[in-house]
């Protein structure tokens, strides 16, 4: 701890419960809001220490930016600083406890693991002390002067642009800097077993100093943070305010949190003793007979004011309690405190496993996915907290869950793993492998349970549908369970599962119909949907690029029914008969001249031109052949390759497509009439315009935008009666040359106008976000 002095250490040694009543303070002395012997250096004293041998450092640029953003974005919610500092103290205590499992000497200076809070109302300081691992001089400079976590630049840009929530602060390892929400100055005193005791201090967002503590080792081991509060933050000196915040954010921290408090307690005393006490100590300022003078037989209630250490987090970790005895509110508060989230979980499962291995666990699904969720270059967060017999072992289990499940958070407490297991061998331990399978299965079971409530599952699916789809691709062993979790909008339902779709299929319907598009509105207005909806068939809308992978892979069939992209050839209805075949033959015979003419005109672009059995209101449609790429697939490949000149991409888009025409549409009937009348010259641009306009309407991009626009312009000219060779008349006024000498122009350039390269968002990140 960072409490100075032998007397103070003796007072702390005995605290093993909520408090130790300070009856020795009852003889008329003035109770103090700081413990006996408690001293911390002032900023002036630290400055004097630094003169004799301290070092001055500058914060790195990102720290300055981070502190500025935190202060601007969270100025209305300053209380988060206490949560962050308590969480950091808990982390430090967990680290020393873990090290002591293999080396008991780590605990020799102080085996009492706890957090202490002292609010000095006279000096306007709030001091938080832990007996954790402490920091060396190098640690102080690295941990409190830089931000080393990858992705911080992107995070800064994101919260500058979109704002932030409290949970993002701790998530990015910058929780310490939230102290500047309330501090004019911050002093950190730290003692690590491997180094001397050092003082770190900063009075601004620009620089800090580090000096060896000339007082020697006053802590034994641990870290003490002294916050010199701003005038508008004095509320954080009030006992009740701090207690409320601890209950709100840190109730389930796995170490005792003590606070030095002055409070009133009631005692039942024999009536004669109470009178005697009152007559002997009638000047005692801190002993007050209860005003109501309650009598209970021969006893009375006497109130005393005492100053002592009060335990603030009295509840034990809830995973050790029977699930039936834990309330939903307790689960929510535990989750928010333990995993530094501002919202309660969307769902949770509290369970106990006995058999091959014994362990207790609570699995949580957050309401919102983590920042940069599923991005391949982003390391997985510390979402799995592993304990052995309630002793924290590690939260660095990046391979415990597959990446698609990295949003799941869980606490696991094993009875079978050895306390001395090293982090290096932990991932290969047989017991952990068993636990891993059980937790994954429980997470999937929790999602299945959620799917039974359409309202809750809609919220879940909106946030985590990509996780399920990635899981289908990456974790084949869970395919049969995950495929039942898929949901799609359709022509008849807002969200439907594949099994419900199959149950609603029409008589003899041989295929599951779907269409891919960039969004639902585009899919709804696709010409391919027309006839199916007119006939009462249901079509699924697939709008995620991941869906393209699924239907090309394991999702080619479901429940024995093949998946059919309605914008590709191969569509069957199952009710084709001799009559429909005869009708098709008659239409083919009638329209064969137009089909041949269109194929001749579009030979470089189409594989075939044919009569459509799908269209009702649109004149035509463009399809990919059975081996070709749909519009969504083409966009997906272009995004993946990142280069539209890539040979594979160019080969893919060069594939010929299929043009279908609607024999019942007036435009197609009119084209046939003009062709039969020998007026094909009047339709010279029509085949190309029809094909490209139809392709755009079907979701493809024009292959040659300039050629397409030139063709449209030519058609407009002929329609209006304008000469196709007529040119626009415009007067061009050339720009004036700059007559300012080059040296003067260079001097006029403001370097402040240049954008920091860290502030430029990678365009591919936007693309990835879209995918």
Answer yes or no: are the C-beta atoms of 107 and 120 closer than 8 Å. Answer: no
Report CA dihedral (602, 608, 609, 611) to the nearest 10 degrees. -170
CA distance linking residue 637 with residue 623, whole number of Å: 18
CA distance linking residue 138 with residue 60, whole number of Å: 15
DSSP-assigned letter for residue 752: G
DSSP-assigned letter for residue 738: P
Known binding residues:
84, 88, 130, 135, 143, 149-151, 171-176, 223, 423
CA distance linking residue 340 with residue 253, whole number of Å: 11
CA distance linking residue 582 with residue 28, whole number of Å: 112
Rg (CA), the chain: 37
Q: How far is CA 238 from CA 162, 284, 314, 535, in A?
A: 34, 25, 20, 72
Return the H-helix or E-strand segment holding 551: helix 545-552
CA distance linking residue 185 with residue 204, whole number of Å: 7
Report CA dihedral (85, 86, 90, 91) to the nearest 10 degrees. -20
Q: What is the largest CA-CA distance in the chain?
A: 128
- Residue 676: alpha-carbon gap to chain centroid: 64
* CB-based burial label for 591 (10 Å; 0-12, 13-18, 19+): buried
- Count of other CB atoms within 10 angstroms of residue 579: 8
Answer yes or no: are the C-beta atoms of 303 and 264 closer than 8 Å. Answer: yes
- Phi, psi values for residue 481, rounded to 5°: -80, -40
Tell me the residue length of the chain: 771
- Count of other CB atoms within 10 angstroms of residue 565: 24
Known binding residues for ATP:
84, 88, 130, 135, 143, 149-151, 171-176, 223, 423
CA distance linking residue 715 with residue 50, whole number of Å: 83
* CB-based burial label for 391 (10 Å; 0-12, 13-18, 19+): middle
């Amino acid at each position: 701890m960072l409490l100075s002095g032998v007397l103070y250490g003796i007072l702390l040694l005995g605290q093993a419960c909520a408090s130790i009543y300070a009856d020795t303070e009852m003889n008329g002395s003035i109770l103090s809001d700081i413990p006996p012997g408690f001293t911390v250096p002032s900023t002036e004293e630290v400055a004097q220490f630094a003169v004799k041998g301290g070092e001055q450092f500058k914060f790195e640029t990102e720290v300055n930016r981070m502190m500025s953003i935190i202060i601007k974005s969270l100025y209305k919610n300053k209380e988060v600083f206490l949560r962050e500092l308590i969480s950091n103290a808990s982390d430090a205590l967990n680290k020393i406890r873990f090290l002591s499992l293999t080396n008991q000497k780590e605990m020799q200076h102080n085996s009492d693991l706890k957090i202490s809070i002292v609010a000095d109302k006279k000096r306007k300081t709030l001091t938080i002390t832990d007996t954790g691992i402490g920091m060396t001089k190098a640690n102080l400079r690295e941990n409190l002067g830089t931000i080393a976590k990858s992705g911080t630049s992107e995070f800064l840009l994101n919260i500058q642009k979109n704002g932030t929530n409290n949970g993002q602060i701790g998530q990015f390892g910058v929780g310490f800097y939230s102290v500047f929400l309330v501090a004019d100055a911050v002093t950190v005193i730290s003692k690590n077993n491997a180094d001397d005791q050092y003082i770190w201090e900063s009075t601004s967002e620009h620089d800090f100093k580090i000096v060896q503590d000339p007082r020697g080792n006053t802590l034994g081991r641990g870290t003490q943070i002294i916050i010199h509060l701003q005038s508008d933050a004095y509320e954080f000196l009030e006992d009740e305010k701090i207690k409320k915040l601890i209950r709100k954010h840190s109730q389930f921290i796995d170490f005792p949190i003590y606070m030095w408090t002055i409070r009133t307690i009631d005692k039942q005393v024999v009536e004669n003793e109470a009178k005697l006490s009152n007559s002997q100590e009638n000047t005692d300022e801190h002993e007050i007979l209860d005003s109501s003078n309650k009598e209970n037989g021969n006893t009375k209630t006497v109130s005393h004011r005492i100053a002592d250490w009060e335990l603030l987090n009295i509840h034990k970790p809830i995973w050790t309690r029977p699930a039936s005895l834990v309330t939903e509110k307790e689960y929510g508060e535990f989750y928010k405190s333990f995993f530094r989230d501002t919202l309660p979980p969307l769902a949770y499962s509290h369970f106990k496993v006995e058999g091959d291995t014994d362990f207790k666990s609570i699995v949580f699904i957050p309401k919102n996915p983590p920042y940069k969720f599923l991005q391949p270059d982003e390391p997985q967060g510390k979402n799995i907290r592993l304990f052995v017999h309630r002793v924290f072992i590690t939260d660095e289990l990046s391979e415990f869950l597959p990446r698609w499940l990295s949003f799941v958070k869980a606490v696991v407490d094993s009875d079978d793993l050895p306390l001395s297991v090293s982090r290096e061998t932990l991932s290969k331990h047989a017991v952990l492998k068993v636990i891993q399978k059980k937790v994954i299965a429980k997470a999937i079971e929790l999602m299945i349970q959620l799917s039974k409530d359409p309202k809750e599952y809609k919220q879940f699916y909106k946030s985590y549908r990509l996780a399920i789809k990635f899981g289908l691709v990456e974790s084949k062993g869970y395919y049969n369970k995950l495929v039942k979790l898929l949901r799609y909008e359709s022509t008849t339902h807002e969200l439907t599962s594949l099994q419900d779709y199959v149950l609603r299929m029409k008589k003899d319907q041989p295929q599951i119909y779907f269409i891919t598009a960039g969004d639902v509105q585009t899919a709804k207005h696709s010409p391919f949907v027309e006839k199916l909806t007119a006939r009462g068939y249901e079509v699924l809308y697939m709008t995620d690029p991941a869906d393209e992978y699924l239907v090309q892979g394991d999702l080619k069939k479901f429940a024995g029914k093949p998946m059919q992209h309605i914008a590709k050839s191969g569509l069957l209805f199952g009710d084709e008969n001799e009559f429909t075949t005869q009708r098709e033959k008659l239409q083919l015979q009638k329209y064969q001249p137009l089909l041949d003419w269109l194929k001749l005109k579009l030979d470089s672009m189409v594989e075939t031109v044919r009569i459509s059995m799908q269209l009702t209101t649109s004149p035509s449609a463009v399809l990919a052949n059975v081996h070709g790429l749909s519009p969504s697939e083409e966009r997906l490949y272009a995004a993946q390759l990142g280069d539209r000149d890539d040979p594979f991409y160019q080969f893919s888009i060069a594939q010929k497509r299929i043009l279908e025409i609607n024999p019942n549409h007036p435009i197609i009937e009119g084209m046939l009439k003009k062709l039969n009348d020998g007026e094909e010259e009047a339709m010279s641009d029509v085949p190309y315009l029809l094909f490209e306009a139809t392709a755009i309407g079907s979701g493809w991009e024009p292959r040659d935008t300039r050629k397409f626009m030139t063709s449209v312009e030519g058609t407009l000219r002929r329609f209006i009666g304008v000469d196709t060779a007529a040119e626009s008349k415009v007067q061009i006024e050339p720009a004036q040359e700059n007559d300012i000498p080059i040296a003067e122009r260079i001097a006029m350039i403001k370097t402040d106008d240049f954008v920091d390269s860290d502030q430029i968002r990678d365009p591919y990140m936007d693309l990835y976000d879209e995918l």
